[in-house]
């Protein structure tokens, strides 16, 4: 082939690659830049190290090994994508549609359609060991402009949730499992081992680490420093409550993370705890968790009942199974109480509430950074340079929450000082 022909092919290939990237069908062109930023951030590195220490404390050997691998192994296999070729992808999407867990009306508006939304790009696509297109430490905590939406934001977000879950579990044990224990030498006596086990510490520690894991898949980085969009599915948004009014649609990261946990054969009580992050299966919300588990099982090609993640009640409806000692209680008995509820489900749900401060924090931080940008030589209109060398770097190192706290108490001058510190370190 002549040089001129090679050049022409190269131009076409680059154009096609750019088009595919906008459709979210190929790994994010900005993933490498995001990793450089995150690995240079003390805040991110501290959070990531904390998560790994927590994962190492898990007692169940399978859960511990799989969790450490998922977080720290850059070559980890994405199990729910192993051997999933185009034909199988189409079959999975059809199964989701037939089950009412994906809404055809949503496809046209999503970049790349359902194929890109349910199957974000990975390396070694279709092989027996597909690999993540970015490492865990580089991933953001949510969609661009959402909470923790900067390189490494996922680790920071999960550290917050992990600490919350551990503290909430300790609170539940103190208040509900030992209300009559006496204080000795100014401190409460340790809770009896008999009662400690009523709340699984493995689920408390592991669920926050796994719940958002698939954000590594979903929220990849574009070349201009923005992020991939996220598909919402696992319902039609209208009649998801066993045919009655209800909306169980949720972010793809939630479903894909569950699919990965199922494929790695993690315990049922743990997977249901993980599934409860976006809604505790209480107060008429059980159907949401049920639908999320159904959707995840379809993506993972798992028999959701046979694997013990769901059970059928006396009305023929899929319900959460009664686990542990509650296994002797029969869902077919039409019990007036919800006998299939573990405390871990609600604790994990409560621990995933940092967004109540983190969302307004990112909005305020974006505004503050934009106001100060000209002083540091950045123009918000120059999107790639602004995001890659100023906005993402500042947020990764300082966090939006820190900036809002400083601004709220000390004003914009104090934020300027923080940014000048980054400039002195040649980071921005």
pLDDT of residue 2: 34
> Which residues have C-beta within 8 Å of that of residue 95, sequence separation ≥ 6?
298
Give the other-Cβ count within 10 Å of 363's Cβ. 15
91-117 burial code (b ≥16 CB/10 A, e <16) = ebbebbbeebbbbeebbeebebbbbbb
Q: Which residues of 25-77 form beta strands (DSSP E)? A: none
- Nearest residue to 148 via CA among 369, 396, 402: 396
C-alpha distance from residue 304 to each of 121, 252, 291, 316 (Å): 25, 18, 11, 15
And the tokens for 244?
């009655």
pLDDT of residue 174: 86
pLDDT of residue 179: 61
pTM, two decimals, is 0.90
- What whole-number distance in Å separates Cα of residue 273 and Cα of residue 279? 10
CA atoms within 13 A on the CB side of 88: 14
Phi, psi (degrees; rounded to nearest 5) at 100: 75, 25
pLDDT of residue 28: 97
pLDDT of residue 160: 97
pLDDT, averaged in runs of 10, over the chain (428 residues): 32 35 89 98 98 98 98 96 98 98 95 97 97 98 97 98 96 82 54 69 97 98 98 97 97 98 97 97 95 98 96 90 65 56 95 95 97 98 98 98 97 98 98
pLDDT of residue 336: 45
pLDDT of residue 16: 35
- Nearest residue to 209 via CA among 44, 59, 55: 55
pLDDT of residue 177: 85
Burial class (CB in 10 A: 0-12, 13-18, 19+), 67: buried
And the tokens for 126?
């279709």
pLDDT of residue 18: 38
pLDDT of residue 340: 80
């Amino acid at each position: 082939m002549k040089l001129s022909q090679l050049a022409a092919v190269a131009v076409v290939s680059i154009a096609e690659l750019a088009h595919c990237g906008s459709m979210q069908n190929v790994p994010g062109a900005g993933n490498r830049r995001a990793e450089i930023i995150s690995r240079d951030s003390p805040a991110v590195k501290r959070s990531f190290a904390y998560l790994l220490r927590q994962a190492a404390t898990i007692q169940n050997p399978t859960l511990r090994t799989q969790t450490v691998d998922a977080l720290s192994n850059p070559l980890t296999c994405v199990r729910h994508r192993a051997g999933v070729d185009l034909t199988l992808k189409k079959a999975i999407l059809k199964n989701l549609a037939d089950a009412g867990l994906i809404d055809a009306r949503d496809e046209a508006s999503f970049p790349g359609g359902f194929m890109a939304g349910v199957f974000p790009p990975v390396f070694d696509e279709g092989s027996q060991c597909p690999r993540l297109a970015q490492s865990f430490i580089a991933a953001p905590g949510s969609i661009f402009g959402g909470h923790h939406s900067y390189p490494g934001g996922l680790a920071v977000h999960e550290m917050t949730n992990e600490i919350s879950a551990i503290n909430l579990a300790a609170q539940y044990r103190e208040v509900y499992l030992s209300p009559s224990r006496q204080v000795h030498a100014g401190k409460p006596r340790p809770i009896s081992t008999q009662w400690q086990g009523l709340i699984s510490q493995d689920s408390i520690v592991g669920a926050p680490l796994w719940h958002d894991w698939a954000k590594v898949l979903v929220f990849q980085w574009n070349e201009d420093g923005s992020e991939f969009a996220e598909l919402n599915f696992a319902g039609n948004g209208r009649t998801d409550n066993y045919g009655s009014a209800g909306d169980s649609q949720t972010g793809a990261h939630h479903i894909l993370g569950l699919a990965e946990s199922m494929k790695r054969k993690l315990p049922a009580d743990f997977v249901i705890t993980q599934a409860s992050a976006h809604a505790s299966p209480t107060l008429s919300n059980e159907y949401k968790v049920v639908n999320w588990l159904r959707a995840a099982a379809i993506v993972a090609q798992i028999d959701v009942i046979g694997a013990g993640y769901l059970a059928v009640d006396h009305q023929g409806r899929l319900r959460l199974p009664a686990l542990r000692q509650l296994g002797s209680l029969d869902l077919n008995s039409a019990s007036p109480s919800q006998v299939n509820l573990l405390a871990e489900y609600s604790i994990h749900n409560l621990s995933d509430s940092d967004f109540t401060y983190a969302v307004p924090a990112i909005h305020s931080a974006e505004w503050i950074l934009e106001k100060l940008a000209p002083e540091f030589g950045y123009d918000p209109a120059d999107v790639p340079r602004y995001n890659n060398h100023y906005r993402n770097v500042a947020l990764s190192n300082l966090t939006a929450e820190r900036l809002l706290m400083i601004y709220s108490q000390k004003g914009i001058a104090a934020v300027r000082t923080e940014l000048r510190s980054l400039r002195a370190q040649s980071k921005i």
